């Protein structure tokens, strides 16, 4: 499930909901620490990593720069910036694990990191140790940084 035709549902996430979900993830991660630092998977993992870093008082943050999405089209993942760290004692943070393809690349780069995402889909869920919310594989998660304020039709009208 990676092309735009495979998404049947839309799950919009507000800034407030993302903040709550990241705080809930922080609570779970606090019990598993202490942590040396955070490795954020760009770009989606940047905002959750910032929130988690604040909540857990982590000041050391690095990034793995990967790209696999162009809007709703998932293509071949590309490593844009590698990391010189095996991840031991570090949190690996992303917004979402979808098919698991990008997650596998990140996992291979930092195999000893604790991988946590805010949202998880069934195909990618085995790749992460900690997540907050599971959504169906056919759902597109609309993050607040990808959305604007506009009228939304009621679900019943949109399905007709």
Catalytic residues: 94-95, 98
What is the spatial distance between Cα 159 and Cα 136, in angstroms, rounded to a whole number?
Answer: 18
* Maximum separation of any 2 CA atoms in the chain, in Å: 52
- CA neighbor of 122 nearest in space, from 143, 137, 105: 137
Outline where the chain has alpha helix (H): 15-30, 46-56, 101-109, 155-158
């Amino acid at each position: 499930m990676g092309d735009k035709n495979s998404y049947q549902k839309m799950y919009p996430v507000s800034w407030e909901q993302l903040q709550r979900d990241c705080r809930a993830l922080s609570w779970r991660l606090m019990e598993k620490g202490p942590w040396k630092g955070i490795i954020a998977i760009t770009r989606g993992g940047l905002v959750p990593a910032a929130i988690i870093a604040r909540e857990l008082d982590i000041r050391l943050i690095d990034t793995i720069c990967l790209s696999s999405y162009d809007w709703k089209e998932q293509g071949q993942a590309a490593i844009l910036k590698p990391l010189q760290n095996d991840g031991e004692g570090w949190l690996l943070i992303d917004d979402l694990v979808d098919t698991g393809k990008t997650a596998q690349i990140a996992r291979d780069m930092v195999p000893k990191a604790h991988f946590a995402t805010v949202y998880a889909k069934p195909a990618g869920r085995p790749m992460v140790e900690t997540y907050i919310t599971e959504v169906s594989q056919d759902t597109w998660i609309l993050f607040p940084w990808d959305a604007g304020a506009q009228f939304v039709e009621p679900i019943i009208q949109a399905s007709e």
